Amino acid sequence: MQQDIVAQGLELMLYGMGTVVVFLALLVIATTAMSSFVGRYFPEPQTPAVMGNKPASTGAAPNDELVAAITAAVHQHRGRKQ
């Protein structure tokens, strides 16, 4: 039984690590393909890849009456649809 569990552990390691590598390899391929596809057929004014969560920040701190009013209107507008 002790040997048995080691065997299980080895199997889990080989099979598990294998799956992780294969899965992420496929993801690399899929992502590359997707990017080139999107880049070719749906080009777009590019935005730099920066960390930072615009929606969150604007969501967190509307910085003047105008935005406040808009926010309220939008909420109302969207809320209604719900």
How far, in Å, CA of 41 to CA of 17, rounded? Answer: 36
Six-digit token string for 16 = 């598990």
Cβ(33)–Cβ(40) below 8 Å = no
Taking the complex as a whole, the smallest distance from the CB of residue 64 to other proteins amounts, in Å, to 18
The values of phi and psi at residue 61, to 5°, are -145, 75
Taking the complex as a whole, the smallest distance from the CB of residue 81 to a copy of itself amounts, in Å, to 15
Cβ(80)–Cβ(72) below 8 Å = no
Q: Determine the residue type at 16.
A: G
When the beta carbons of 43 and 48 are compared against a copy of itself, the nearer one is 48
Taking the complex as a whole, the smallest distance from the CB of residue 26 to other proteins amounts, in Å, to 6
Among 50, 61, 78, 81, binds a copy of itself (CB under 8 A): 61
**Which residues would be at the binding site for other proteins (CB under 8 A)?**
2-3, 5-6, 8-13, 15-17, 19-21, 23-28, 30-32, 34-35, 38-39, 42-44, 46-53, 55-56, 58-60, 74-82
